[in-house]
Amino acid sequence: MPDLKIRAPMGRGRAATAGLILCLFIMGAGAASAAETETRVDPRALGCILPLSGSHAAYGDRALDAVLLAAGVFSANETPIRVLIEDSRSEPAFAEAAVRKLFNAGAACILGPLGSQEALEAAKEAQRLKIPLLPLTQREGITGIGDYVFRNFLTAALQVRTVVRYAQAELGLSRYAVLYPDDPYGREMARLFREEVRRSGGEIGREMSYKTDQTDFGKEIQALGGVAPVGSGDGAVAEDAPKTVPDFEALFIPDSHVRVAMIVPQLAYYDLAGIRLLGTSGWDSPELLKINPKHLQGAIFVNGFFANSFRPEVNDFLEDFYNAYGREPDAIEALVFDAAGMAVKLLLDNRTGDREGLRDGLARMKDYPGVTGKTTFPASRDAEKDLFVLTVKDGRIIQVK
């Protein structure tokens, strides 16, 4: 098993680090070492299960960059943290086996794996062995497996809750409609939105779904209250035509920026105006703004990370990440960095030196000042955090909260 405990100066290139990690990984990929037969806990050992090969290797490689930065590999002084790395190979069975290997190697807690099914199998095994696990997945109900499973990730429920609360508390909205893709993600988002709106006293008026390969959304938009254009020329509604008066104040569209960029101009075409557009993290892309920005003015969506944030900890993270790897991090890397940062903090502070003490430390975690917002673990062990609330103003995506 790869065991990383190195001293590296700031500014070390990513290629050199990747080469070192690859070397360590290959050295540990064969038969189990003597350390893997021991059960003594190393209070400074952070286990990692990431897909370093297989279909999700690119994601695992980037996640590992974030882990190493959080562990202090690029600090001026030698880090006391040992990073033990196992490759899940993007397969659930390997992820489950990796939990046992890290447990036997003395890891005090485990970060990962990525992927829904991998995380499920790893969580079951971690709970059985009673070793704290921080899976990196959106899988519904993962923390319900047991009290050793904690999640710091951008979940669908957290996004929906943040959007609805902001829309109601800050914008005074109470009547909504939903336009969603007819796939598992879209149906789940629509369900969560419906439940959150009703729980908070709002109303859901109309709901329409569309096929994931659609490019023309005219039928669905008209069913929501849009009006087919009359006249000729550029498709504008004639001056003497009755204006659309929607029976809702906001429209929630839980989809990627690619499809949203198709839908929004068609909303204007069918004169469905005067409503607030609401979205999810999939909207947060410069590509969204390639359509006419006036159609998006005032739209509200969320993300777990925003590089142009006014929060000072974000600027520090961007600088450190760029110095280490020569590139800017993405939202997933920011979430992994915070999860690893919380684990590292507890490894250094854990007085008992055992896994139960570390689990208790996670359960007591409150307002951890991460780059993805202040984070607290409630009784559900699903992280509560202050997501970045974003909007479009004058053709730019900016943070409003």
End-to-end CA distance of the chain: 43
Decide: 382 and 144 in contact? Cβ < 8 Å: no
CA atoms within 13 A on the CB side of 194: 13
Q: What is the pLDDT of residues 285-316, one digit of tens each?
A: 999 998 888 899 999 999 999 999 988 999 99
Decide: 132 and 126 in contact? Cβ < 8 Å: yes
Cis check: omega of the bond before 113, within 30 degrees of 0: yes
Q: Give the span between the Cα atoms of 372 and 71, in whole angstroms.
A: 17
Examine the domain organization and report whether 241 and 211 are in the same domain: yes
At 13 the pLDDT is 45
| Pairwise pLDDT comparison (29 vs 75), residue with the higher score | 75
401 domain residue, yes or no? no
Residue 278 pLDDT greater than 80, yes or no: yes
Decide: 158 and 135 in contact? Cβ < 8 Å: no
Among 244, 277, 303, the domain boundary falls at 303
Examine the domain organization and report whether 134 and 217 are in the same domain: no
Q: What is the pLDDT of residues 137-185, one digit of tens each?
A: 988 899 999 999 999 999 999 999 999 999 999 999 999 999 999 999 9
At 3 the pLDDT is 44
Residue 241 pLDDT greater than 90, yes or no: no
Average pLDDT rounded to a whole number, residues 88-117: 96
Q: Which domain holds residue 41?
A: 3-153+311-385
Q: What order do you get walking across the sheet with 384-385 strand by strand?
A: 368-370, 373-376, 384-385
Q: What is the pTM of this model?
A: 0.84
If we measure between CA atoms, which residue out of 394, 310, 383, 400 comes closest to residue 159?
383
Examine the domain organization and report whether 326 and 215 are in the same domain: no
397 domain residue, yes or no? no
Examine the domain organization and report whether 207 and 96 are in the same domain: no
Tell me how many domains the chain contains: 2
Q: Give the span between the Cα atoms of 4 and 20, in whole angstroms.
A: 9
At 244 the pLDDT is 58
Examine the domain organization and report whether 87 and 24 are in the same domain: yes
399 domain residue, yes or no? no
For residue 170, give the CATH number of its domain. 3.40.50.2300
Q: What is the pLDDT of residues 368-392, one digit of tens each?
A: 999 999 999 999 999 999 899 999 9
Decide: 123 and 107 in contact? Cβ < 8 Å: no
Q: What is the greatest pairwise CA distance in the chain? A: 83
| Pairwise pLDDT comparison (7 vs 256), residue with the higher score | 256
Examine the domain organization and report whether 79 and 46 are in the same domain: yes
In single-letter form, the type of residue at position 291 comes to I
Q: Give the span between the Cα atoms of 395 and 56, in whole angstroms.
A: 34
Examine the domain organization and report whether 191 and 228 are in the same domain: yes
Examine the domain organization and report whether 112 and 46 are in the same domain: yes
64 domain residue, yes or no? yes
Examine the domain organization and report whether 148 and 73 are in the same domain: yes
Decide: 334 and 342 in contact? Cβ < 8 Å: no
∠ CA(279), CA(285), CA(289), 5° rounding? 90
Examine the domain organization and report whether 299 and 347 are in the same domain: no
Confidence of residue 266 (pLDDT cuts 50, 70, 90): very high
